[in-house]
Amino acid sequence: MSAVEGIKVELEIVLGSAKLPIRQILKMSRGAMIPLSQGHEDPTEVYVNNQLVARGKITVDGDQMSLEVSEVVKKKSR
19-29: per-residue pLDDT in tens? 999 999 999 99
Range of the domain at 56: 11-72
CATH code of residue 50: 2.30.330.10
Does residue 20 lie in a domain region?
A: yes
Span 23-44, mean pLDDT? 92
Does residue 3 lie in a domain region?
A: no
- pLDDT tens track for 42-68: 999 999 999 999 999 999 999 999 999
Q: Give the model's pLDDT for residue 2.
A: 82
Residue 77 has pLDDT above 80, yes or no: no
User: Could you give the maximum distance between any two Cα atoms of the chain, in Å?
Assistant: 50
Could you tell me which residues come within 8 angstroms of residue 48 by beta carbon, excluding any fewer than 6 positions away? 9, 10, 11, 12
Of 77 and 42, the structure prediction assigns the larger pLDDT to 42
User: What percent of the chain clears pLDDT 70, i.e. is strictly above it?
Assistant: 96
The domain tally of the chain equals 1
